[in-house]
Structure 1
Amino acid sequence: ILNSGIKIYTYMDKDAQNSLQNRIDNGGYYKNEDQMVGSTIVDSQTGALVAISGGRNYKDVVERNQATDAHPTGSTLKPFLAYGPAIDNMQWATNHSIQDESAYNIDGATFRNYDQQSHGTVSIYDALRQSFNIPALKTWQQVKSQAGNNAPTDFAKKVGLEYENTDIGPSEVLGGSSSEFSPTQLASAYASFANGGTYNKAHSIKKVVEANGNTIEFDFTSHKAMNDYTAYMITEILKGTFEAYGSAYGNKVDGVNMAAKTGTGTYGAETYQQYNLPDSAAKDVWISGFTPKYTMSVWMGFSEVKQYGQNSFVGSSEQKYPQLLFRDVMSDISPRDGSDFTRPDSVAGSGKSLYVAKSPDGNTTSNFTESSNGTNSGSSSNNSRNGNNGQNLSNGNGNNNLQQSNNNNSNNNGNGIFGNLFGR
């Protein structure tokens, strides 16, 4: 090709690509040499691939591209399997209230929040930006009950996150064994929120000009994935991730309007016991976020526990590393022009209390007050508890410890232990 006279035109942004790879190679965001990274940046409005890194010093690595390989996603799927479908199908307001609990059972499976605490009555605004597990599971249940059993996976499919088995169990909402996607897939999915609800599959080649002058244009997948009010309301919630008590607090870029969701995945229970790993040990850590101009997804993690198990995970403080990379690259490439996400006419309200203009959420309360831990107090809405197969899951110190229950859920990985646990 180099000597054929063919010219290939791509959407790559040289400055963004250099920033991403230089930061990954030289930023010091890692616990040790075994920790891997993959990241993708797309244009928020078009889905064009502007930068991608398959790993540290990637030019020397040929066997795997961590930006296109699938990894356990942790809580990064909550907007797609729970809250997005709830707003899109049931027109929930952002201050729709849910009763949190310290423990929650679904068909014999026990789930807990990352801090093992109940936070009382919370709005979905605070539940998502602070990444509480129980409200997400209750939301997922209610979506299945009111909008249809496959409504969560139907919503995810529209943004390129497709499941072989559409009748997923509750663990998938928190990033189960079937919820493995790549940074490139998540970047495209999150860009759908940034641009008002249109999914544009990541694409890199603009055109090819042959030696004879013939030009070949390239198409890409693009379609409306959700209502504009869903995209905007989820975006406003995820902007709160960077505010006090949010899961990425302290890592916002000044002068740039940005939104994001974090995620954490861990090893299975047998691995924790075999290597005596601490409860806070994380295998996979994520951030997927966006500005009006760029959407970026970052995964960091390990492929396996080595004999020196203590070097094959990150602890609580080290789980911020993807957020630091996201912050630094976005700081390098983002214009500080004050541009914000376009608010559609379909959205009414203000602040934490946004609702669909023509069909306000009947369960919304207006008497929320901020509590000391950043959550809201108010009236609780009713939540269905329809049965779903699952695994026993409990969180500790930012991560979850899991034991499999006796069931035939497709989330099981076939070896008697569910492979991944999920935190904030």
Structure 2
Amino acid sequence: MSSKGRKRPPLAAEKRHAKKTRTPVRRKPAATRRKPARRGNPVAGFFRALIGWTLGLIWKVFSRLALAGAIVLGLAVYYFHAKLPEMTALLDGRTRGSVTLLDRDGQVFAWRGEQFGGQITADTVAPVLKNAVIATEDKRFYRHFGISPRGVAGAIRINLSEGRGPLSGHGGSTITQQTAKLLCLGVAFDPDIWKSEAEYEADCRRTTLARKIKEAVFALAMEVKYTKDEILTIYLNRAYLGAGARGFEAAAQRYFGKSANQVNVSEAAMLAGLLKAPTTYAPTNNLKRAQDRANLILGLMQDQGYLGPKDAAIARANPARLSEAAEARAGGYFADWLMGAGPDFLTRDTTEDVVIRTTFDPQIQAAAEEAVRFVFQEKVRDGSKAETAVVVMSADGAVRAMVGGRKTAIGGFNRATMALRQTGSAFKPFVYAAALDLGYGPNATVVDEPLTINVPGSGPYSPENYDRKFHGRVTLTDALRHSYNIPAVKVSESVGRANVRRIAADFGLESDLALGPALALGASESTLIDMTGAYAGILNGGSSVTPYGLVELRLKGDSDPLMGQVGGMGERVISRDAAQGLVYMMHQVIEAGTGQRAKLPGWQAAGKTGTTSAARDAWFIGFTADYVAGVWMGYDDNTPLKGVTGGGLPAEIWHETMMRVHAGLSPRPLPMRVPAAGPGDPRQDAGPRPDRDNVAEGILNELLGLFRGGN
């Protein structure tokens, strides 16, 4: 077989390769072997996708809303920030002014209105006071941004746990938020919207959700506008701290008589404690309650590291005490009466800070108050609701002291100036003043005998003496000394009721004087201050007196007064001789008559008792050469007094008052004219003779008219 010329390839064996050894694969146990993936449930996948899409949508909406809210919040903060003035313009937030009352020596004894003590700052205030405020109101003040979410959450939790609404009770407000509320969130007082400042402030204190939100925004704006110390400065100056004090400077002056940069730890704690409830914890209302509250504040200061245990213990052992002016309850009735002495726009309704210099004497005031306490403790049964009033003045009508009731209450009913009461026999000196002014003398006589007067429209009037006896012919001095009624009526009828009314009115007793013969026995009504002023006219020689307490009124910081003394001595009412004769007669009332309990050892004194029908009112009014004092006693509801006459407890109160008032003074004689012994007066018989009739009385009245015209 031919190859057809091709060369065959050589025969060769197939190349053999060495067999590779394979590493055996270690298989996982069946339990851990991965199972092949199964296809998911399409329904479950759908819902998973739907939830994811929803959450994404919510996030997008929420993030956009949050962004929009942040923008709105920023704009709101910017809006309030732009409206906020400089810090110094926000320190004095009062719409009313204050009245500072100075006593006769120029010392502050009372305040009225809203007192602003002057600017203090967080730097100038006593450090212990600054610490006390922060410890009490906002311990994280220097760390938060105006609001405290932790504080708000805690307050809501407490409110809910105590069964209140979330916004009722504890507010969790920071000092910044409280300051925002004090600023009324920038809303100024408008008298066209709010009837009073009290209504305006009540509206500012309303707590609603919308208001809390606005308050928070306003607080944030304040944090942007002011520093922390500036915010605290506004707060320290505007906070109301009771007793009319605005700001810690005014409160420190009012309660402790010192500046807010001088208070000690105990005083600082008491002031800080007022922030919770100023009226409730005011030391002038209840000193013990204020001290207990201060102890709580001391504990907070110790817990927060502002006080060491030793300093806290010392402060607790030496609690804060009121200054003398605050202890005296700020002048009480005297200050209330004085606030009506000037025009309202400079006193009760002043928008300025006013300073009034007065006639007030704190020592005499204390004497009168001590006398009242002593007599009621020693001589009046426990539980008695009988009231009393005392007025002490000088002969020119300058009121030195006033007690308007047994309990001092600022703004309360002042029985010395407001209570119109029948005067009883305390009116009789003006009957005899009319007789003496016509020329009768203290030794002139009148017959004490049965008397009946026919009063047109009322019928017969027959007065009786207190002892229901008749004493025959008596001198005017004896008639006044023993307070006989019939002689007083006879003298009044003799000299003419019109003349008696004129003299009484000219001495200041102008309130509806009785027209009938009972005029002589004090059937008319008067106030204690007017009666005391009328007696001052007898002491000063017969000139009228208008009781006064205001000496000078000026604006704070000004040297020139806006007005001067209101009241004092006026025109002559009776002659000096008549006045001095009457002083002698009234001196005999105390020496040997119905007023002997008022006798002052070593001093000449004159006065007159008075007891009204059914003993509803009891009076004693009298004087020495230095002072006139009047005392009234009775019940507010006109309940008759039991066993009390003017010569009893009122005379004893007068005695105790005047003994204290005259302590340390040198006795001076009364300005009296002692009559010659015997019936030597040119007009001996001061009473109408039995043969006199109405015609004769009419002629006498005409003569009296001519006599008055000649004067």
Q: Distance in 2 between matches of 1:319 and 1:125?
A: 17
Report if the CA contact (8 A) 2:587-2:607 is conserved.
Answer: yes
Shift of 1:9: 0.8
Query: Runs of 4+ in structure 1 displaced over 4 angstroms?
Result: 316-319, 383-387
Q: 8 Å contact 1:78–1:128 — kept in the other structure?
A: yes
Name the structure 2 match of 1:322.
Answer: 650
Relative contact order (alpha carbons < 8 A, sep ≥ 6): 1 or 2 greater?
Answer: 1
Aligned equivalent of 2:607 = 260
* Correspondence for 1:111 among 457, 463, 473: 463
The one-letter code sitting in structure 2 at the alignment partner of 1:52 is M
Bigger Cα Rg: 2
Query: 2:676 pairs with 332, 341, 350, which one?
Result: 350
Show the 5 A alignment for 1:302-321: 302-304=635-637, 312-316=640-644, 320-321=648-649
Alignment of 1:49-128 (within 5 A): 49-59=399-409, 62-68=411-417, 69-80=419-430, 82-89=431-438, 91-101=439-449, 103-107=450-454, 108-128=460-480
Per the alignment, residue 42 of structure 1 pairs with 393
- 3-state SS of 1:51 partner: strand
Counterpart CA distance in 2 for 1:318 and 1:154 is: 25
**Contact persistence 1:25–1:57 (CA under 8 A):** no
Deviations 1:362-404 (A, max 9, x none): 326xxxxxxxxxxxxxx987365649xxxxxxxxxxxxxxxxx
In structure 2, the residue corresponding to 1:75 is in which secondary structure?
helix
Aligned to 1:270: none
Map of 1:361 onto structure 2? 682
Partners of 2:528 and 2:470 lie apart in 1 by: 31
The 8 Å contact of residues 38 and 53 in structure 1, kept in 2 or not, is answered as: yes
Correspondent of 1:152 among 500, 504, 509: 500
Match of 1:297 among 609, 614, 630: 630
- Which secondary structure state, in structure 1, belongs to the residue aligned with residue 556 of structure 2? coil
Change (3 A) 1:5 1:362: closer
Cα distance 1:255–1:169, how it changes in 2: closer, same or farther (>3 A)?
Answer: same
Matches within 5 A, 1:237-256: 237-244=585-592, 246-256=593-603
Q: Which residue in the other structure is 2:616 paired with?
A: 283
Shift in CA distance, 386/301, structure 1 to aligned 2, threshold 3 Å: farther
The yes-or-no answer on 1:20 pairing with 2:364 is no
Residue in 2 aligned with 1:278? none
Contact 2:619 2:646 in 1 (8 A): no
| Contact 2:491-2:688 at 8 Å conserved across structures | no
RMSD in angstroms over aligned alpha carbons? Answer: 2.5
1:154-173 → structure 2 map (5 Å cutoff): 154-164=502-512, 168-173=515-520
2:561 matched residue in structure 1: 215
Instruction: List gaps (5 residues or longer) in structure 2.
Output: 1-97, 99-114, 117-351, 455-459, 696-711
Q: TM-score, normalised by structure 1?
A: 0.73
**Identical amino acids, percent of aligned pairs:** 26
Contact 1:260 1:288 survives alignment (8 Å): yes
What per-residue deviation string (whole Å, max 9, x for no partner) do you get for residues 13-40 of structure 1? 1110111122223432535431011111
The residue aligned with 1:185 is 530
Partner of 1:393: none
Matching residue's letter, 1:261 = K
Please identify which structure carries the higher helix content: 2
2:481 alignment partner in structure 1 = 129
What is the aligned partner in structure 1 of residue 293 from structure 2? none
Q: Secondary structure at the match of 2:552?
A: strand
User: Conserved in 2, the CA contact under 8 Å of 1:141 and 1:385?
Assistant: no
Q: Aligned pair in 2 of structure 1 residues 380, 160: CA closer, same or farther (>3 Å)?
A: closer
Deviations 1:163-213 (A, max 9, x none): 546x7111121121xx11111001100011111111221000111231241
Q: Say if 1:142 and 1:385, in contact at 8 Å, map to a contact too.
A: no
Q: Which moved more, 1:70-79 or 1:329-338?
A: 329-338
Conserved 8 A contact 1:76-1:262: yes
Distance 2:435 2:621 in 1: 20
Preserved CA contact (<8 Å) 1:363 1:381: no
Give ranges in structure 1 of 5+ residues lacking alignment: 268-281, 307-311, 365-378, 388-424
* Cα distance in 2 between the residues matched to 1:20 and 1:318: 17
For residues 202-261 of structure 1, give each alpha carbon's deviation from its aligned partner in whole angstroms, at most 9, with x where no partner exists: 0001112312413131232522121001110110000011223x0012430111111000
For residue 316 of structure 1, report the CA deviation from its aligned partner: 5.0
- SS in structure 2 of the partner of residue 50 of structure 1: strand
Q: Note the C-alpha offset of 1:351.
A: 6.0
The answer to whether the Cα contact below 8 Å between 2:604 and 2:624 also exists between their aligned partners in 1 is: yes
Change (3 A) 1:152 1:208: same
Higher share in strand: 1
Query: Distance between the aligned counterparts of 2:628 and 2:369, measured in 1?
Result: 16
The CA distance in 2 between the partners of 1:351 and 1:6, in whole Å, is 57
Q: How does 1:138-149 map to 2 (within 5 A)?
A: 138-144=490-496
Deviation of the 1:301 alpha carbon: 0.4
